[in-house]
A and B are shown apart, each in its own frame.
Chain A
Amino acid sequence: MAGSLKVGHEFTSEINKKYKVKKFLGSGGQGEVYEVTSGKEKYALKWYLPHVATSQQYEILEDLITKGAPDSSFLWPKDLIKDGKDFGYIMDLRPPEYLNMFELLKRRVEPSFRILCLIGFNIAKGFRELHSNGWCYRDISWGNLFINFNNGKVLICDNDNAVPNNSDLGNIGGTPRFMAPEIVLGKDKPSTNTDLFSLAILLFYLFNIHHPFEGKLEDKIHCLDPHAMKEIYGTNPVFIWDPNNKSNRPVPGYQQNAIDFWELYPQFFKDIFTHAFTEGLHNPQKRSTEGQWQSTCLKLLNSIIYCNNEKCGVENFYDQKLIKIGVGCTCWNCQRIIPSPSILLINNDLIVLSKETNITQHHANNDFNIDNIIGKVVQNPNNPNQWGIKNLSSEIWTFIKPGGQSILVDPGKYFPLIKGSIINFGINKAKIY
């Protein structure tokens, strides 16, 4: 299918840069996207449909370009192109390794839970950056981001909807299924609080491959038309796992994902969704925040435990609450009991120690920096049965054995995983269980 701009057409931008249309990439509700070149550089051009190309939208774009992207996880407007009354903006092209989220929802990619945790963390981080800069995104949905399923990095696009929070600018209300009930019912305008609601929906889709309000109430509707959608997502939204309202539980078979995923997760992870879709549902001030989602995604990442059955080996989650009451961890895939792992307890957060575990700067400093890896679980090269943690930081750590003997661990050296010992990372201390 072709777009309205001709291939080969040349434009000069507002900063006098020349661009040439190379090919039509796709279209959406607001306009069309093209690949364009400027010299040897390739970019994407979003070209608005006439009814969206308003002078207000033009001013919003000018403001976005002046202020610049909050960080590198945004495909942010960079330059403006005008042609009579029509206009569009230039942004970076999506790198090919970044895919749409529908690839996951259709199960054409199969990331690990570890990657899902990183994706969730990075999505929350991106919107936290945007919100902390005073912007409201207005249209969080799975259609507006791209994901690298190999490393969990994300790219947030369609940032031309972003406007200063609580301003009257912008005309986008959101995407059906993601809009907060007060927006569906036309009672409020988009804000960072309604963004938080849409973020919770997006994260529920990511971790459950299901919508949090699609239970029995959706199942019994014959025709899912606009009136039915308004009822489910606006007038009478009921969280499928609402502890005080069981009227909308998922239907086995038809809504099986909701059941299969939910029962795997530790209680703290269920709690944040339950809060977001019960207390936070009609009370925008009580919605789960981006920072809470970041912490929770990291906590989930730290709870991953691998099934020790050689033929299975899938990821499971260690639920401290269940372990405390004597319930063991049973593998969801092969149904075998998984032996209790070694655990590092930092303040009140636990890290399950397994072959994939990295200790990050965040564990030492609580600063959400998970890119700087300061330690790694490794096998002792001289004794493969013995596991330890290698100090990958530039600091000297103090390792205290259960008997009280203190040993310095230089950068590049290991300390063994001995139950009852303590490691001092600097700001935080950790105990091995």
Chain B
Amino acid sequence: MAKLPGGELSNRPLHFFWIADCSGSMFGEKIASLNYAIRDVIPSMREAAKANPNAQLLIRALKFSTGATWLTNKPINVEDYEWEDLEADGLTEMGKAFNLLADQLTMPPMPERALPPVLVLLSDGQPTDVYTPGLKRLKELPWGKKAVKVAISIGNDAILDMLEEFTGNRELVLNAKNSADLVNMIKWASTLAKQVSSPASKVSGEDPIIIDLNTIPKSSDDGEIW
């Protein structure tokens, strides 16, 4: 019998989206590293969620190549979430991905009350479709505006400006120059759920409640082309 009344601390859902480029240019080491890195961070996300009474972490993944598809129909509670390996083939129809995202960030299906959604976009190339209408639609939605948007460029300096259009902030465009960078950056991105919902101690004088930019991993400078 319960010794105390009530239940656990009231919390809000936190919707976390992995948005993965599966175009042909990702074939080989890139998609393998992406699969490895995301699979590797899921247990840590689960542990962090167990220790975080402020949020109910829900994960979903969206892949795009020739067309865009959700990997699961619904958001999955992190405790039950498992990463399904992606394969690379086809074009880079990022605009279609933005449209699918926008459909899900509309209210409903988004709830009335939540924490800022986290969108992590991983790509290695310029979109091959007209992406701007989808991106505009996404960014005009209230939940799209409020979402924390991070992009990881996989071995391609040329797409940094385009990815900045998505994040709205150059500091949140990370440039992975090799697979070690990609693993570190995905690891960091996975900590955004905790940073957004249950922020850690803050340094005096800084805006008290923001993402800790100090912890963003820097890309290595070993000159390796990937």
Any A CB within 8 A of the CB of B222: no
CA–CA, A222 and B6, complex, Å: 24
Q: A102-B53, A106-B9 are in contact. Are A141 and B215 (CB under 8 A)?
A: no
* 8 Å CB contact of A174 from B5, B50, B201: B201
> How near does chain A come to B93, taking the closest CB pair, in angstroms?
29
Any A CB within 8 A of the CB of B39: no
Interface residues on B, range: 35 or more
CA–CA, A48 and B173, complex, Å: 25
Q: How many residues of A contact B (CB 8 A)?
A: 61
Any A CB within 8 A of the CB of B166: no
Any B CB within 8 A of the CB of A170: yes
Q: Which chain A residues numbered 240 to 278 have a C-beta less than 8 Å away from chain B? A: 254-257, 260-261, 264
Any B CB within 8 A of the CB of A209: yes
Q: A100-B51, A176-B209, A234-B208 are in contact. Are A264 and B200 (CB under 8 A)?
A: no
Q: A209-B8, A214-B10 are in contact. Are A222 and B113 (CB under 8 A)?
A: yes
Scan B1-23; emit 1 where CB is below 8 A from any A CB, else 0.
11111111110100000000000
Q: A222-B114, A223-B142 are in contact. Are A174 and B202 (CB under 8 A)?
A: yes
CA–CA, A100 and B51, complex, Å: 8
> How near does chain A come to B195, taking the closest CB pair, in angstroms?
9
CA–CA, A210 and B54, complex, Å: 10
**B55 to chain A: closest residue by CB:** A224
A230–B4 CB distance below 8 A? no
Q: A173-B202, A222-B142, A223-B143 are in contact. Are A257 and B3 (CB under 8 A)?
A: no
A49–B215 CB distance below 8 A? yes
* 8 Å CB contact of B115 from A49, A100, A223, A257: A223
Q: Tell me which residues across on chain B come within 8 A of A59, comparing CB atoms.
A: none
B212–A229 CB distance below 8 A? no
Scan A216-245; emit 1 where CB is below 8 A from any B CB, else 0.
000101111110011000100000000000
CA–CA, A315 and B52, complex, Å: 28
CA–CA, A225 and B50, complex, Å: 21
Q: Tell me which residues across on chain B come within 8 A of A223, comparing CB atoms.
A: 114-116, 142-143, 146
**A253 to chain B: closest residue by CB:** B10
CA–CA, A111 and B187, complex, Å: 35
B208–A184 CB distance below 8 A? yes
A314–B3 CB distance below 8 A? yes
CA–CA, A173 and B206, complex, Å: 9
* 8 Å CB contact of A183 from B4, B208, B212, B215: B208
CA–CA, A29 and B9, complex, Å: 23
CA–CA, A256 and B202, complex, Å: 30
> How near does chain A come to B43, taking the closest CB pair, in angstroms?
8
Q: Tell me which residues across on chain B come within 8 A of A375, comparing CB atoms.
A: none
Q: Tell me which residues across on chain B come within 8 A of A186, comparing CB atoms.
A: 205, 208
> How near does chain A come to B112, taking the closest CB pair, in angstroms?
6
* 8 Å CB contact of B10 from A112, A175, A255: A255
Any A CB within 8 A of the CB of B199: yes
Q: Tell me which residues across on chain A come within 8 A of B204, comparing CB atoms.
A: 138, 170-173, 183, 189-190
Closest 3 CB pairs of A and B: A29-B200, A173-B204, A105-B53
Other A-B pairs, 15, CB within 8 Å; known A172-B202, A179-B202, A186-B205: A49-B214, A143-B200, A172-B201, A172-B204, A173-B206, A174-B201, A174-B202, A209-B8, A221-B113, A223-B114, A224-B113, A226-B207, A255-B10, A257-B6, A257-B7
Interface residues of B (CB under 8 A from A): 1-10, 12, 41, 44, 50-53, 107, 112-116, 142-143, 146, 187, 196, 199-210, 212, 214-215
